[in-house]
Every structure is written in C-alpha cells, then in structure tokens.
C-alpha cells in the first residue's frame, strides 16, 4: 500500500496481483455504500483496474483493544457490518467464500506441528507440547456452528484495520479476507483478539459489552483454542534472525501470560 498526494488531496493506493481480488473489494464497497454504511472509505476512480484508490485517513489512529471505548466502537462497527446480511444476499456473491472456522484451525494446527523444530528451539518442548494439548483438546470439544443466517464477515479484525480520523470517527478498512459466515464466528475472533487485553476475564468482557451475551455456551468454548499463540508463533517462523531478536522477547511474554490464564478461562466458561 502507498500514500499518494495530489495537491492537497491524499490517497491510499493498493495494487493487487489478481483482478478478481480488486473486483472483490470494489463489489463489497459498492454494496455497502448503497446501504449508506458510513464506516467504510469510498473507492476513487483509477484507470488501473488492479489498483484500489481510497481517501487517506488523516491521523489514522489504530484501535487499542485495551481501551473500552475502542472496543465498544470496533464491536459496533462489526455489528453494523453483519446486519447488512438482512438486506444483501452476500452468499450469492462469487467473490466471497464461506468460512469454516474449525477446518481453518485444524489446518493451522497442522502447520504448527510441522513447525516443531523451530518451536522446540525458540519456545521449548514443554511449552510447545502444552499449547498443542490446549489446541487438540479445544478442537475435540467444540461443535460445528450452524450455517443459518450467513452474512458478510470482515475476516481480518486486527487492531490496525480499525482506524480513527482526526475527528475521532472510526472506519473499518482492508476487506481483503472478507468472507461469508455466521456473525458468531467473527465475534469469537474479535474476542480472541481482545481477551489478552482484559486478562482473559470473560465476565468483565461480557459485562462491558452486553451484545456478546448473544453467544451461547457452545460458541464461547471456541475461545479455548489458543488461536493467538498459534498465529503469532507461525508468523515468527517467517522472520529473519534479526527480526526475531526484536519479536521473540515480546512473544515469549505474551505466551507465558496466555498459558497462565487459559486454564482460568476454561473454569470461567464451565461455570457460565
């Protein structure tokens, strides 16, 4: 992605390798704009069909999931996005595949197991095995979600895909991984991102964000899969030795915290 300035106007430019990828982004934005969804940025005209051009968000402050206000606003944007399924049959779009979260995690666990030599070296056999056990136990326990009421899911709700402009308005950006599924899938993935910032206190999180009460106990058990650990450690396998020197100390701290608190999360969920 590039920043492009024309006079006093500033734009973001993103070039795709596949025309269908760019068309997918255009399609999503066209549909959302027809519904007057103001949390997305318009797509500007560009002669290159492989390029998506949008206004640059001045200030562009990223969400902080340790901020209750940012959590509330980001969750509200997701609710607004999901409700568009009441008016748009996203399932019929040729651009959006249907997500299967359990299969996605099974594949992630396979990659984790293949990365064992790296993990033994940098994480240690004991912690690697403990995380593996958490993952396998969670996958054995969780049940498939219903495919009722499919809607659009953003697909990549990392903090930097929620940005605020200088007036404080929040936008949802980067729909590259958008797909269709039930809204509960994305709420679970949002909670996975947020829980480390509230010490994995599920009661506190639901109390602060009552709309999460829509999730039933079976759906909440998806939170026991150590998704954040697997994703971050697999990302670490792609880094150079120099990059690892900076990244690994922070990741090890995060890993120790998660391993310490995940058993408490299981107990809390069982008592709910």
Closest Cα to residue 251, out of 131, 159, 117? Answer: 131
On the question of pLDDT at 8 being above 80, the answer is no
Q: Which two tokens stand for residue 187?
A: 């709420």
Average pLDDT over residues 34-59: 92
pLDDT at 194: 97
pLDDT at 152: 98
Task: Say what angle helices 183-194 and 68-83 make with each other, to 10 degrees.
Answer: 170
Average pLDDT value over all residues in the chain: 95
Q: How far apart are CA 199 and CA 221, in angstroms?
A: 17
Which residues lie below 8 Å from residue 229, measured CB to CB, with a gap of 6+?
A: 131, 254, 255, 258
- List residues bridging with 35 in a β-sheet: none
Summarised one tens digit per residue, pLDDT across range 70-100 is 999 999 999 999 999 999 999 999 999 999 9
In this prediction the pTM is 0.95
Look-up: residue for tokens 């958490």? 134
pLDDT at 207: 96
**Residue % of the chain over a pLDDT of 70:** 100
Pairing of strands 9-15, 51-55: antiparallel
Neighbours of 49 (CB within 10 A): 11
Summarised one tens digit per residue, pLDDT across range 109-133 is 999 999 999 999 999 999 999 999 9
SS (H, E, C) the chain: CEEEEECCEEEEEEECCCHHHHHHHHHHHHHHHHCCCCCCCCCECCCCCCEEEEECCCCCEECCCCCHHHHHHHHHHHHHHHHHHHCCCHHHCCCCCECCHHHHHHHHHHHHHHCHHHHHHHCCHHHHHHHHHHHHHHHHHCCCCCCCCCEEECCCCCHHHEEECCCCCEEECCCCCCEEECHHHHHHHHHHHHHHHHCCCHHHHHHHCHHHHHCCHHHHHHHHCCHHHHHHHHHHCCCCHHHHHHHHHHHHHHHHHHHHHHHHHHHHHHHC
Average pLDDT over residues 18-29: 96
Q: Which two tokens stand for residue 154?
A: 């953003």
Q: Tell me the pLDDT band of 61, cut-offs 50, 70 and 90.
A: confident
Summarised one tens digit per residue, pLDDT across range 178-223 is 999 999 999 999 999 999 999 999 999 999 999 999 999 999 999 9
Summarised one tens digit per residue, pLDDT across range 147-158 is 788 999 999 999
- List residues bridging with 179 in a β-sheet: 153
């Amino acid at each position: 992605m590039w920043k492009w300035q024309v006079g006093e106007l500033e734009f973001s430019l993103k070039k795709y390798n596949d025309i269908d990828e760019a068309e997918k982004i255009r399609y999503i934005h066209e549909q959302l704009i027809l519904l007057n969804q103001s949390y997305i940025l318009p797509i500007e005209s560009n002669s290159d069909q492989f390029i998506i051009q949008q206004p640059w968000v001045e200030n562009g402050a990223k969400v902080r999931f340790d901020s209750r206000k940012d959590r509330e606003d980001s969750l509200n944007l997701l609710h607004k996005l999901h409700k568009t399924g009441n008016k748009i049959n996203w399932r019929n779009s040729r651009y959006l595949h249907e997500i299967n979260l359990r299969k996605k995690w099974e594949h992630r666990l396979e990659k984790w197991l293949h990365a064992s030599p790296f993990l033994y070296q940098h994480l240690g056999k004991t912690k690697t095995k403990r995380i593996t056990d958490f993952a396998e136990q969670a996958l054995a326990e969780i049940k498939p979600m219903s495919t009722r009421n499919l809607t659009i899911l953003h697909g990549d709700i990392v903090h930097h895909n929620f940005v605020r402009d200088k007036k404080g308005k929040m936008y949802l950006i980067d729909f590259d991984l958008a797909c269709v599924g039930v809204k509960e899938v994305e709420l679970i993935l949002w909670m996975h991102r947020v829980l480390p910032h509230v010490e994995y206190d599920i009661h506190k999180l639901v109390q602060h964000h009552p709309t999460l009460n829509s999730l039933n106990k079976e759906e909440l058990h998806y939170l026991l899969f150590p998704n954040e650990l697997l994703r971050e450690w697999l990302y670490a396998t792609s880094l150079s030795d120099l990059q690892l020197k900076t990244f690994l100390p922070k990741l090890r701290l995060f890993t120790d915290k998660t391993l310490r608190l995940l058993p408490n999360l299981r107990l809390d969920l069982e008592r709910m």
